[in-house]
């Protein structure tokens, strides 16, 4: 497993302890690297924006990018890199298509919510996109969606995912 933007490594630690998974986290931040070492998980300090050149194709069962895709500059490259080094990828992101965010924009303000707690002037999020945008990105890049779940307050939403989901989680692969 490879966890991109792994933060303090708790997800890796959890998966190692509960699923017997083995893996590496990648993070650029010094404090996160230190936290990972404290948590006893493997971490490679590296800038995601520079790609995953240190990893061979197909070297991971699964590459995870949790709540980070909206905050990177080279979005397209990173998704393709994930699917190069991993047989499949799990991506989660805040859905800008949720109805209350749409409403805020319709009322003339940039959206702020529990999942997107930033103001326009201090947000780390540089690519704002919706579930529909991501699906069209996948089909445009020959990426197959294996599984999809949209969540709101931790619970899966049924229909109208793009309207009701605040977080989306995708399991994807790129057939070789």
36 binds other proteins (CB under 8 A): yes
Closest CB 90 distance from other proteins, rounded Å? 20
Closest CB 37 distance from other proteins, rounded Å? 4
50 binds other proteins (CB under 8 A): no
34 binds other proteins (CB under 8 A): yes
24 binds other proteins (CB under 8 A): yes
Task: Return the CA Rg of the chain.
Answer: 16
Count of residues in contact with other proteins, rule CB under 8 A: 20
Residue carrying structure tokens 């890049």: 141
* Longest Cα separation, the chain: 48
Q: Give the H/E segment covering residue 90.
A: strand 86-94
**Residue 148 corresponds to which tokens in the numbers above?**
């999809």
Region from 38-46, 71-79, 110-118, 165-173 binding other proteins, contact rule CB under 8 A: 38-46
134 binds other proteins (CB under 8 A): no
Whole-angstrom CA distances from 128 to 44, 87, 105, 133, 134 are 27, 26, 12, 10, 10
Q: Give the H/E segment covering residue 101.
A: helix 99-106
The nearer residue to other proteins, 26 or 116, going by C-beta atoms, is: 26
The nearer residue to other proteins, 28 or 145, going by C-beta atoms, is: 28
Q: What are phi and psi of 136, to 5 degrees?
A: -70, -35
The nearer residue to other proteins, 34 or 105, going by C-beta atoms, is: 34
CA distance 174 to 136: 14
Closest CB 56 distance from other proteins, rounded Å? 7
CA distance 7 to 106: 34
59 binds other proteins (CB under 8 A): yes
Region from 26-34, 99-107, 159-167, 168-176 binding other proteins, contact rule CB under 8 A: 26-34
CA distance 169 to 114: 17
Residues that bind other proteins (CB under 8 A): 22, 24, 29-31, 33-34, 36-38, 40, 42-46, 54-56, 59
């Amino acid at each position: 497993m490879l966890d991109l933007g792994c933060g303090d490594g708790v997800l890796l630690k959890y998966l190692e302890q509960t699923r017997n998974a083995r893996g590496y986290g990648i993070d650029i931040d010094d404090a996160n690297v230190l936290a990972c070492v404290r948590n006893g998980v493997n971490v490679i300090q590296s800038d995601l924006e520079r790609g995953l050149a240190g990893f061979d194709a197909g070297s991971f069962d699964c590459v995870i990018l949790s709540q980070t895709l909206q905050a990177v500059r080279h979005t397209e490259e990173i998704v393709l890199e994930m699917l190069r080094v991993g047989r499949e990828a799990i991506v989660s992101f805040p859905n800008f298509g949720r109805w209350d965010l749409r409403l805020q924009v319709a009322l003339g303000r940039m959206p702020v919510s529990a999942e997107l707690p930033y103001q326009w002037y201090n947000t780390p999020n540089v690519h704002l996109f919706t579930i529909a945008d991501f699906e069209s990105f996948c089909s445009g890049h020959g990426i197959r969606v294996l599984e999809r779940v949209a969540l709101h307050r931790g619970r899966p939403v049924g229909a109208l995912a793009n309207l009701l989901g605040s977080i989306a989680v995708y399991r994807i692969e790129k057939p070789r």
